Amino acid sequence: MLPVVPIQVPEALVASLVECHGTDGRVWAEGLPALAAATADRWGLRPDGPPAHGAVALVLPVRRADGSRAVLKLQRVDEETAGEPLALRAWGGRGAVRLPDHDPGTGSMLLERLDPARSLLALPDDRAATLVLADLLAELTGHRAPPGLRTLAEVADGLLAEVPAARERLAGEDDRRLLADLAAALREVRPEPGDRLLHWDLHYGNVLAPTAPGPRAPWLAIDPKPLAGDPGFELLPALGNRWSDLAVTGDLPRALRLRFDLLTDRLALDRPRAVRWTLARVLQNVLWDLADGGSVIDGTQRTIAEALSGREDGSRITRPGR
């Protein structure tokens, strides 16, 4: 029922899909109008506003047959996105967007409509926004992960396996030392990978307000790339939010540590373990950059790693040049 006029797939989404998935991404983007039409037909949806998108998903505002508002989210199913419906079902609308329907064949999801103009990015008070994230993370990770999700143990083993080749790609000795320290931090916590339901991508842009005041919580998470694991692995997206807010304080490492402490307090996490899991997450970002052809560790990742160093007993994170 959907495209009375066929949908236009935003150019920026096509570019991002090509960047993430190469030719497969382009082919998938070309099939989006037909997929949107078929899915809307099956679920009795009609268009209700301009499309939105992130890095990988097309999100179409729709009306359901009963007139209620929803969005249709279309994204490729891959190891990161496959678990989204499982996680949303497990949360059942508590702390996260509701999922009224889902097609396992195509990965298409019918989601509760939230207000895309009101994400946490629009909340000017950085501390208040971090507290919202902390409360959401506490609620979301309060659940045991349902069976069938990828696990942090698998992710951790995959990261550690990549380290030797990544080391060869790094040009500088300081960077090689930092890589070794990040890997060492991950090895220390790897034996206890945890069993919580993790969102994995909870940054300000992935928290939206409901469309109107009512019975729903004031802020809800969207867009999980879920994992079963330790909540310490959840903190990095919250630390890196709105970097300019940290920079204007004049003491970036201190501002990062304040965020970290606020998150770990609210989540009642063991801080030394949370540091190590956060360093593991820095390692994940570093390995991605290197896989994309980089040969240095990004300054933001280094700043986070160094800011947290000394927060765990016997830290081996080095501080070159100091």
Ligand X SMILES: Nc1ncnc2c1ncn2[C@@H]1O[C@H](COP(=O)(O)OP(=O)(O)O)[C@@H](O)[C@H]1O
Residues that bind ligand X (CB under 6 A): 52-57, 59, 71, 73, 97, 111-114, 116, 205-206, 222-223
Is residue 223 at the binding interface for Mg ion, with CB under 5 A as the rule?
Answer: yes
Closest approach, Cβ 220 to Mg ion, in A, equals 13
142: partner contacted, choices ligand X, Mg ion, none (Cβ within 5-8 A by kind): none
Closest approach, Cβ 16 to ligand X, in A, equals 8
DSSP string, 233-278: GG-HHHHHTTHHHHHTTS-HHHHHHHHHHHHHHHTT--HHHHHHHH
Report how far residue 64's alpha carbon sits from residue 313's, in angstroms, rounded to the nearest whole number. Answer: 55
Name the residue nearer to ligand X (CB basis): 11 or 313.
11
Q: Residue 308 corresponds to which tokens in the numbers above?
A: 């947290």
Closest approach, Cβ 227 to ligand X, in A, equals 15
**Taking the CB of residue 217, how many other CB atoms lie within 10 A of it?**
16
The length of the chain, given as a count of residues: 322
Write the secondary structure of 76-110 as one string of H (helix), E (strand) and C (coil): CCCCCCCCHHHHHHHHCCCCECCCCEECCCCCCEE
Name the residue nearer to ligand X (CB basis): 223 or 312.
223
Position among 10, 31, 54, 272 found at the interface with Mg ion (CB under 5 A): 54
With contacts defined by CB under 5 A, name the span among 7-15, 62-70, 142-150, 200-208 that binds Mg ion: 200-208
Active site residue 201: yes
CA distances from residue 127 to 158, 204, 242 in whole angstroms, order as listed:
34, 12, 12
189: partner contacted, choices Mg ion, ligand X, none (Cβ within 5-8 A by kind): none
Q: Which of 126, 175, 181, 201 is catalytic?
A: 201
The residues assigned a catalytic role are: 201
Q: Contact positions toward Mg ion, by CB under 5 A? A: 54, 206, 223
